[in-house]
Amino acid sequence: MGRLFGTDGVRGEANRYPMNAEIAFALGQAVVYILKKEHGRPRIMIGKDTRISGYMLESSLESGITSMGGYPYLLSVLPTPGIAFIAQSMRAAAGIVISASHNPYQDNGIKIFSGSGFKLSDEQEETIEDLMLSNTLHTLVPPVKDMGQAFRMEDVNGRYIVFLKNTFPRDLSIEGMKIVLDTANGATYKVAPDTFWELGANIDVIHNSPNGININDKCGSQHTEDLRKRVVEKGAAIGLAFDGDGDRLIAVDEKGQEITGDQILLICAKMLKDQGKLKNNLLVATVMSNLGLRVACKRYGFKYHASKVGDRYVLEDMIRLGSIIGGEQSGHMVFLDHHTTGDGIVTAMQLLAAMVKTGKPLSELAKMMDIYPQKLINVDVKSKPDINTVPKVMKIIDKVERELKDEGRVLVRYSGTQNMCRVMVEGPSDSVTEKYCEEIADVVKNVLG
């Protein structure tokens, strides 16, 4: 039995190891056993996205938690950041999210938030994992009289919506603003429309009819074609695309052009700087961010730090360096003055605030940053050996870097959640960038695919 936790909890194809009922049951038991030492009979919030496999995993977690003497509170469908918020506001011992984020419906995942609303550390996950793999959990269960019981919470959407609305400045208004939402048939399909409607926006919603197998299917933050078309048709001021679990946002301007996470980060950081609220004058992004972001930060007079890829590493660096804003090109952004984790709707609130405060359309705000030509190719791989130990891959990377000189860069890394290698190249032109990216991707595919 291999290790279970990746960069974002446990993840895999649903109903197959490790994303099966047995592992979910054991995870529920292990979490309670470890939390008992500090919390006695721990209360644990459980929420999920709209995948059909969520029911199985929810029931298994509930069984594992109650068998070990914990009290699971079932939140049903709620965005990942909503579960973190409820866990914190309820002063629970932990929050457990059942979701595979932007992955297709066949996949699912389980990730854990502490009662403070932050994801567990690598060390905490390792402790849970060691207990699960020790094959001793069955010897640790309490007698029947000390088992737990489950509760279902009915009012979580309303609580979360109030929290979300309070992240939008009270002195600003989006009353009557035309906004198109793409909820990816995922966890935001109820709360996102209700939130923007309650703020007075004129909303139009697409991809908000989940059926268990259509989450992220040609929609949401990774597939904005329908949203771009709808924004232009409706004459909307902005389009907002969330991913399946609601922690990412990609925007579309009034002309139907996609706005990247890097551009959103810059717009929001500049607003904070103008308000004197950009703590330590610092924005945290990742090594995958476009070179144009670093150039723009320098132009507008604030510092830029590149972390490793992954929202947990962005957050770690934000806390370590004292920054309140950070995120990824993919649209996963953290605003620490509002929330402990990435939240697509909170991000949307900050972007809308920047539009209202400046009085500028999104297409004009997006021009604050020049985007350098960038090509990303995802290559399915059978194994993930250290890239530095694969001679043929290192040889082609070195060749491309020599030829690009100072006019671009190369980044080759594995996905933390899928059997995939991401090849990214930035260069002086689209044609050069695409040519070099394909050269590297071909070698990766031949050697590791």
Query: Which superfamily, per CATH, for 374-448?
Result: Alpha-D-phosphohexomutase, C-terminal domain (3.30.310.50)
Instruction: Determine the average pLDDT of the residues in 292-300.
Output: 94
Comparing 115-119, 246-250, 263-267, 440-444, the range with the smallest average pLDDT is 115-119
Assign a CATH topology to domain 260-344+353-368. Answer: Alpha-D-Glucose-1,6-Bisphosphate; Chain A, domain 3 (3.40.120)
- Residue intervals of the chain classified under CATH 3.40.120.10 are 5-154, 169-258, 260-344+353-368
Report yes or no on whether pTM surpasses 0.85: yes
Q: How many helices, marked H, and strands, marked E, lie in the chain? A: 14, 19
Q: How confident is the model at residue 3 (pLDDT cuts 50, 70, 90)?
A: confident
Q: What is the pLDDT of residues 234-289, one digit of tens each?
A: 999 999 999 999 999 999 999 999 999 999 999 999 999 999 999 999 999 999 89
Bin 13: left if φ > 0, else alpha if -120 < ψ < 50, else beta: beta
- Average pLDDT for 167-195: 98
The CATH class that applies to domain 5-154 reads alpha beta
Neighbouring C-beta atoms of residue 242, cutoff 10 Å:
31
* pLDDT given for residue 1 in this prediction: 40
CA distances from 326 to 105, 117, 124, 341, 358 (A): 28, 17, 24, 10, 21
Task: Dump the DSSP string for 76-140.
Answer: EE--HHHHHHHHHHTT-SEEEEE--TTS-TTEEEEEEEETTSSBPPHHHHHHHHHHHHTT-GGGT
Instruction: Output the DSSP codes for 3-26.
Output: --EEBTEEEEETTBTTBSHHHHHH
Which fold does the domain 169-258 belong to in CATH? Answer: Alpha-D-Glucose-1,6-Bisphosphate; Chain A, domain 3 (3.40.120)
Residue ranges of the chain assigned to CATH 3.30.310.50: 374-448
Beta-sheet strand order (sheet of 409-414): 374-380, 420-426, 409-414
- Tokens 């100072």 found at: 406
Question: Is cis: bond before 142, omega within 30 of 0?
Answer: no
Verify whether residue 101 is a known catalytic residue: yes
Beta strands in 238-369 (DSSP E): 238-242, 249-252, 258-259, 282-286, 303-307, 325-327, 333-335
Confidence of residue 119 (pLDDT cuts 50, 70, 90): confident
Average pLDDT over residues 43-53: 98
What pLDDT, on a 0 to 100 scale, did the predictor assign at position 31?
Answer: 97
Torsion 278-316-335-223 (CA) sign: positive
Buried/exposed 128-167: b ≥16 CB within 10 Å, e otherwise: bbebbeeeebeeebeeeeeebebeebeebbebbbebbbeb
pLDDT in tens, 50-103: 999 999 999 999 999 999 999 999 999 999 999 999 999 999 999 999 999 999
Q: Using CA atoms of 101, 103, 106, 112 in order, give the dihedral in degrees to the nearest 10.
A: -30
Cβ neighbours, 10 Å, residue 306: 15
Structure tokens, 210: 């989940």
Question: Alpha carbon 101 to chain centroid distance?
Answer: 7
Q: In this predicted structure, what is the pLDDT of residue 223?
A: 97
190 phi and psi angles, rounded to 5 deg:
-100, -50
pLDDT band at residue 124 under the 50/70/90 scheme: confident
**pLDDT exceeds cutoff 90 at 8:** no
Q: 22 is written with which tokens?
A: 């047995």
Decide: 229 and 207 in contact? Cβ < 8 Å.
no
Quick one: tokens of 196? 């923007």
Among 53, 67, 99, 101, the active-site one is: 101
Q: With CA atoms as reference, report the closest residue to 246 among 157, 314, 179, 178.
A: 157
What mean pLDDT is reported for the chain? Answer: 95
Round to the nearest angstrom and report the end-to-end CA distance of the chain. 24
Strands 71-77 and 94-98: unpaired
Residue type, 367: K
Residue 122's pLDDT is 82
Q: Is the pLDDT of residue 335 over 60?
A: yes
Average pLDDT rounded to a whole number, residues 309-325: 94
Per-residue model confidence (pLDDT) at position 132: 95
Query: pLDDT confidence of 406, banded at 50, 70, 90?
Result: confident
Instruction: State the pairing for strand pair 282-286/249-252.
Output: unpaired
In percent, the amount of the chain with pLDDT more than 70 equals: 100
Q: Residue 143, SS3?
A: coil
For residue 2, pLDDT over 70 is answered with no
Residue 7 pLDDT > 80: no
Residues 6+ apart with CB under 8 A from 387: 393, 394, 397, 412, 413, 414
